[in-house]
């Protein structure tokens, strides 16, 4: 009996030993084959697409890793050359509207592996001093990207600045232009709220919204107040249409981007001729923050800054009614020009 148990134990040990040796030999062979194959895979083949229709499988990982280092200026010229990276002029610009959701739109579009965003507002076309530095200065402000990717920047002051349409036209007459809008009265109050918060941080006093939005002498809407003037979308758009056809514009619903972002992003993908890549997986609602946050992959999530979604001050209902009545004819014309209708009061 004892002899049989010892024989069985030796047999089990022999099987386990064989498995261990086999696994070790497989790992050695596997590592050796990888080492032999490594030189056959060029760097640009691993990181870049073979043609402009392909999107590299590792694009998101690359954008969040190595590309981040390049943006910080930690890469050498040789590394940039090997990775086939360039600084491109934007092929699309979010030109406005201030407090319409330009930052949210830019960050959400950056979910797409074929989109690379300029992190900061460049203010090239609306700032005379910057514009005088020339187009190469502007290009060098752009992030590194693959040649097949679309670089996008956003500067909401572009929409309302008189010189900007002609300046952008001179750079690229076929550029795609994105305008994100919200209900005009709500946008004006949001604009006021941001300025108010800045004043409060500096312990400065500021007029109430009602006093700024309504002319005290005439009791009519004060069109000299910038927050009101910016919300007259059609007046600004007509200036842009002197240089660009309406087909080069895409209007984004900023109110819908807050409550239901995916359909709006899918429309932008189509406008930019991008393959559909942004999905519901990339967007999740944060109940604490009260709006959608971004999911790039299983480990990297991002929410917009805490300054987004500020609580608006209470505004006299009669002033809101007056403003909505004032904006109504401009809104109707905006619908007619753009071909997109909103349920604004």
What does the pLDDT profile of the chain (345 residues) look like in tens digits?
544 455 555 555 555 555 555 554 444 444 343 333 333 333 233 333 334 333 443 444 454 455 555 555 555 666 666 578 999 999 999 999 999 999 999 999 999 999 999 989 999 999 999 999 999 999 999 999 999 999 999 999 999 999 999 999 999 999 999 999 999 999 999 999 999 998 888 888 889 999 999 999 999 999 999 999 999 999 999 999 999 999 999 999 999 999 999 999 999 999 999 999 999 999 999 888 778 999 988 878 888 876 566 788 999 999 999 999 999 999 999 999 999 999 999
For the chain, give every domain's residue range. 85-338
Catalytic site positions = 99
235 Cβ neighbours under 8 A, 6+ residues apart: 229, 330
Reported pTM: 0.78
Q: Is 182 annotated as a binding residue?
A: yes
Instruction: Tell me what pLDDT residue 119 has.
Output: 86
| φ and ψ at residue 302, rounded to 5 degrees | -155, 135
Q: Is 309 annotated as a binding residue?
A: yes
| Angle (CA) 163 138 264, round 5° | 75
pLDDT > 70: percent of the chain: 75
- Alpha carbons 3 and 275: distance in angstroms, whole number: 70
Domain 85-338 has CATH 3.20.20.80: no
- Alpha carbons 112 and 121: distance in angstroms, whole number: 20
Instruction: Kindly report the number of other CB atoms within 10 A of residue 27's CB atom.
Output: 10
Residues in the chain, how many?
A: 345
Do 246 and 335 contact (CB within 8 A), yes or no?
no
Q: Is 48 annotated as a binding residue?
A: no
The separation between the first and the last C-alpha atoms of the chain, rounded to the nearest angstrom, is: 94
Do 252 and 159 contact (CB within 8 A), yes or no?
no
Q: Is 134 annotated as a binding residue?
A: no
Q: Which of 174, 60, 47, 45 is nearest to 114 (CA)?
A: 60
Instruction: Tell me what pLDDT residue 45 has.
Output: 35
Q: Is 101 annotated as a binding residue?
A: yes
For 275-300, b where at least 16 C-beta lie within 10 A, e where not — what string? eebbeeebbeeeeeeebbbbbbeeee
């Amino acid at each position: 009996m004892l002899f049989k148990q010892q024989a069985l134990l030796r047999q089990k040990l022999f099987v386990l030993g064989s498995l261990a040796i086999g696994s070790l030999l497989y790992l050695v062979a596997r590592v050796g084959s990888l080492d032999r194959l490594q030189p056959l895979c060029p760097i640009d083949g691993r990181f870049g697409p073979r043609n402009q229709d392909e999107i590299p499988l590792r694009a998101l990982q690359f954008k969040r890793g190595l590309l981040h280092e390049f943006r910080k200026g930690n890469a050498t010229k040789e590394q940039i050359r090997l990775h086939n990276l360039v600084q491109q002029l934007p092929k699309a610009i979010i030109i406005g509207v201030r407090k319409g959701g330009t930052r949210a739109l830019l960050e959400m579009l950056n979910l797409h592996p074929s989109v690379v965003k300029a992190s900061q507002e460049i203010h090239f076309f609306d700032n005379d001093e910057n514009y005088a530095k020339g187009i190469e200065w502007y290009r060098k402000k752009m992030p590194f990207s693959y040649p097949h990717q679309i670089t996008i920047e956003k500067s909401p002051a572009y929409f309302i600045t008189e010189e900007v349409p002609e300046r952008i036209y001179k750079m690229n007459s076929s550029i795609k232009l994105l305008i994100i809008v919200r209900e005009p009265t709500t946008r004006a109050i949001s604009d006021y709220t941001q300025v108010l918060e800045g004043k409060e941080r500096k312990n400065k006093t500021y007029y109430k919204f009602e006093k700024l939005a309504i002319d005290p002498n005439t009791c009519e809407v004060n069109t000299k107040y910038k927050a009101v003037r910016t919300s007259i979308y059609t007046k600004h758009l007509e200036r842009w249409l002197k240089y660009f056809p309406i087909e080069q514009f895409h209007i984004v619903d900023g109110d819908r981007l807050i409550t239901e972002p995916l359909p709006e992003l899918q429309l932008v993908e189509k406008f930019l001729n991008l393959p559909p890549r942004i999905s519901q997986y990339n967007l999740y609602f944060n109940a604490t923050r009260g709006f959608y946050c971004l999911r790039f992959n299983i480990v990297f999530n991002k929410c917009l800054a805490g300054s987004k979604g500020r609580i608006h001050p209470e505004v006299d209902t009669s002033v809101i009614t007056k403003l909505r009545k004032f904006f109504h004819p401009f809104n109707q014309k905006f619908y007619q020009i753009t071909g997109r209708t909103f349920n604004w009061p």
